[in-house]
Structure 1
Amino acid sequence: MTASGHQRTALASVLAALLLVLLKLGTGVATGSLGLISAGIESSGDVVAATLTLLAVRLGGRPADEDHPYGHRRAENLAALGEAAILAGGGVFIVVQAVGALVGGAGDFQAHWYVFAVIGVAIAIDVSRIAVSLRGAVRYESAALRSNAFHFGADMAGSVAVLGGLLLVAAGVRSGDALAALVVAGIIFAAAARLIHENALVLMDTTPEQAHAQVLEAVAAAAPEAEIQRLRVRESGGRYFADIVVGVSPTQRVVEGHETADAIEDAVHAALPQSDVVVHVEPGGGELPLREQVLAIALTPREVCEVHDVTVFDHDGGAIVTLHVKFDRDAPLAEAHRVANDLEDRLREIPEVIEARTHLEPLEPTRRRAGDVEGDDPLTADIEELARTLTGEGPRDVRLLRTRAGLVVLLDVTVDPGLSLRDAHDIAGRFEAALHARHPDVVEVVVHTEPHG
């Protein structure tokens, strides 16, 4: 949004309102036309209202700060309420004068040709400034400029009513001028009521229904697997703020949850351009497969560092669950045992689980000192032989590391690309078992399987 263009639009409205005051009020006073005087008074309110709008868009264009983290754009909604108050006050004055004229009898007002010329020019100016304000309201997403457009529309309708009154006077209906003034008052009251209603809803943080529906649709399209737990949308100065809480699978990785949040933000921004979107991701409470339920429960305690080898055994219409749980290697056994017992109790609360068993393990250090094995180690020949026996080809990228715990073997082997992952893993497992049997000093074997070619 370019604040200077925003302000230029509001400034043009002030200048146009001043011109209309001079035309309507001056001609009305000179000729004695109550309709033109009323329209002039209404346009005088326009000058004050448009000035308020100019000040509001200057304030609303300021960036967010510590005291106003959502920005200053609600100043435009306050300005719109100020415009409504000015309109209502002008309408009351017009009604009093028009009723007085009707009760006391019409004056000697004559509808001369120049009066028609003035009202024609006024209508032309109203049309042009309505177009300018609407264009600016759309371009700059301004509530104040949008309310100005409605205000100017009411002004033009009033000018048309005055023109009708002038035509009645010219036709010999002497009360036509006062009747036109009452019509102008009715239009003013309607416009004021609309401004108050629309901007009060915004200031009260009433949910904008259309924007709320657009956000719902965007979230559903961007993350169909996510569960919308809370959605709050509000409008401020033509800009939308969306606060979204979604539930995802408890076993989803942090990076996956972040990607889900990014996808939702992008989708909402596409639906509501320049909106401010905050997405919070929480573990979902929907139905999950049993294994994911077990993982979600087991990873909840802060003392648990890692969970692996989750196995579910179907037994007597229920399920027996086993899992390996890793704790800090220096954690007291009593503390680890307490956490594990609590986990088992929580797992048994799952309706289909009849028994739960945990295996406690220390978390291995993530970094260990290692050095390459120098020279022609006899282990290399056995690695070559085992690889050819199991896969038909020699190993690739073999590396032997010596650690304090023992030898570590790293290698790649190629297998038939038509094999399933399970079959390839079985080959790697047989390789590891055979190598451990031949070389007890090998503490770890990492076999990477890849397809031929």
Structure 2
Amino acid sequence: MSEQTRLNRRAGLASVAVAGLLVIAKLWALAVTGSLSVGASLTDSSLDLMVSLGGLAAIAYAARPPDEDHAYGHTSAEDLAALAQSAFILVSGVVILFAAVGRLMDPTKSELASEAAGIAVMLLSIVLTLALVWYQRRVASRTGNKVVAADSLHYVGDLVPNIGAIVSLLAARQLGLTPIDSVVAIGAALFMMYGAVKIGKSAMDALMDRKAPDEEIAGIAEIAGTYPGVLGFHDLKTRMAGSRTFVTIHIELDGQQSLYDAHEISAGLRAKILSEYPHTDVMIHKDVWFPPK
């Protein structure tokens, strides 16, 4: 197992451990407070646990080398997992939204209890989330794994419902403004639904072979266009699958040079692209060019 794969798996295991601990803590907080905003945060953490488990499985499966049936590897498993997770998150957000609106419109005033316990659990959630995000970003900066980076970004977004739950519990305890709990839950639900749509779109784009970002394509073109021995290039094509970008490019080489020299230029160019974009898989086609007589 490579060092990058080992780091990615450790980050995935850390994510699963934190999410599991927070689910247990928030289940208890929901039981003692009856707060919908805590319930929204609990749902978010439960989804985080599913996402983290799916991400860990995707990291493990995507790390498998190409085989006879999967010549380009297994990285699309990440996109399939993300698409399923985004659909589940979207449905859960809709359920929370309707529950929160229903309580807000209910003329019967709902009371919250044990707000201090709920606040303590939310503070624990924030501390653990910040520690996890810090670790994930360290790993992502070393490995360039998009799954770990996306998971880190997702947990940054989780701070919103956690902070919102604290605000609603403080408002209920200090000011008696229990409707704020429902308002915060509505905001958390909308935030979750927005995130689910973004994750789903990204996964769908990859499954539909969407090209790499324009700045990445421009960077690869710059490397190819200025590499020594490359007289020109054409048919630069990219597609994304999971955390990898597949690159195909035709380069034009001097037809009068030796096959060995042509191979060295091609291999050097591939190594240069991989050094700048380590998450890529590069295939180079060599075309010969003869000067006009």
TM-score by length of 1: 0.59
Deviation of the 1:222 alpha carbon: 0.7
Secondary structure (helix, strand or coil) at the match of 2:69 reads coil
Instruction: Report percent identity of matched pairs.
Output: 27
Residue 83 of structure 1 aligns with an amino acid whose one-letter code is: Q
Secondary structure (helix, strand or coil) at the match of 1:248 reads strand
CA contact (8 A) 2:236 2:250 kept: yes
Query: Aligned residue for 1:44?
Result: 46
Deviation of the 1:238 alpha carbon: 2.2
C-alpha offsets along residues 216-268 of structure 1, whole Å, 9 cap, x if unaligned? 01111214752212111233332332211122344444334323323322321
Counterparts in 2 of 1:278-297, with a 5 A limit?
A: 278-284=283-289, 288-290=291-293
CA contact (8 A) 2:32 2:114 kept: no
Structure 1 residues 134 and 78: alpha-carbon distance in aligned structure 2, compared to 1, 3 A threshold = farther
Aligned: 1:32 with 2:34: yes
1: CA distance, partners of 2:167 / 2:279:
44
Pick aligned residue for 2:280 from 271, 275, 282: 275
Structure 1 residues 46 and 225: alpha-carbon distance in aligned structure 2, compared to 1, 3 A threshold = closer
Pick aligned residue for 1:194 from 192, 198, 206: 198
Aligned: 1:167 with 2:142: no
The structure in which a higher percent of residues are helix is 2
CA contact (8 A) 1:98 1:182 kept: yes
CA contact (8 A) 1:246 1:280 kept: yes
Secondary structure (helix, strand or coil) at the match of 1:234 reads strand
Structure 1 residues 104 and 149: alpha-carbon distance in aligned structure 2, compared to 1, 3 A threshold = same
Deviation of the 1:161 alpha carbon: 1.4
2: CA distance, partners of 1:97 / 1:113:
24
Structure 1 residues 122 and 274: alpha-carbon distance in aligned structure 2, compared to 1, 3 A threshold = closer
Counterparts in 2 of 1:197-276, with a 5 A limit?
A: 197-208=201-212, 209-223=214-228, 226-273=231-278, 275-276=280-281
Query: Aligned residue for 1:20?
Result: 22
Counterparts in 2 of 1:142-161, with a 5 A limit?
A: 142-161=145-164
2: CA distance, partners of 1:140 / 1:256:
32
Query: Aligned residue for 1:324?
Result: none
2: CA distance, partners of 1:244 / 1:110:
63
2: CA distance, partners of 1:282 / 1:187:
51
Pick aligned residue for 2:117 from 111, 114, 117: 114
Structure 1 residues 254 and 4: alpha-carbon distance in aligned structure 2, compared to 1, 3 A threshold = closer
Deviation of the 1:194 alpha carbon: 1.8
Residue 202 of structure 2 aligns with an amino acid whose one-letter code is: E
Structure 1 residues 151 and 94: alpha-carbon distance in aligned structure 2, compared to 1, 3 A threshold = same
Residue 100 of structure 1 aligns with an amino acid whose one-letter code is: G
Secondary structure (helix, strand or coil) at the match of 1:243 reads strand
Query: Aligned residue for 1:179?
Result: 183
Query: Aligned residue for 1:7?
Result: 9
Computing the radius of gyration over CA atoms, which structure comes out larger, 1 or 2?
1
1: CA distance, partners of 2:289 / 2:266:
14
2: CA distance, partners of 1:213 / 1:41:
41
Unpaired stretches in structure 2, ≥5 consecutive residues: none
Q: Which moved more, 1:231-240 or 1:208-217?
A: 231-240
Q: Output the aligned Cα RMSD.
A: 2.1
Deviation of the 1:137 alpha carbon: 3.1
Q: Which moved more, 1:90-99 or 1:186-195?
A: 186-195
2: CA distance, partners of 1:22 / 1:225:
59
CA contact (8 A) 2:144 2:279 kept: no
Secondary structure (helix, strand or coil) at the match of 1:148 reads helix
2: CA distance, partners of 1:66 / 1:212:
29
Unpaired stretches in structure 1, ≥5 consecutive residues: 291-453
Counterparts in 2 of 1:33-72, with a 5 A limit?
A: 33-72=35-74
Aligned: 1:126 with 2:133: no
Residue 135 of structure 2 aligns with an amino acid whose one-letter code is: V
C-alpha offsets along residues 27-66 of structure 1, whole Å, 9 cap, x if unaligned? 1122211111121122112222211122111111211111
TM-score by length of 2: 0.89
CA contact (8 A) 1:141 1:239 kept: no
Deviation of the 1:150 alpha carbon: 2.5
Query: Aligned residue for 1:97?
Result: 99
Pick aligned residue for 2:80 from 78, 81, 97: 78
Structure 1 residues 215 and 141: alpha-carbon distance in aligned structure 2, compared to 1, 3 A threshold = same
Q: Which moved more, 1:123-132 or 1:77-86?
A: 77-86
CA contact (8 A) 1:64 1:72 kept: yes
1: CA distance, partners of 2:279 / 2:195:
29
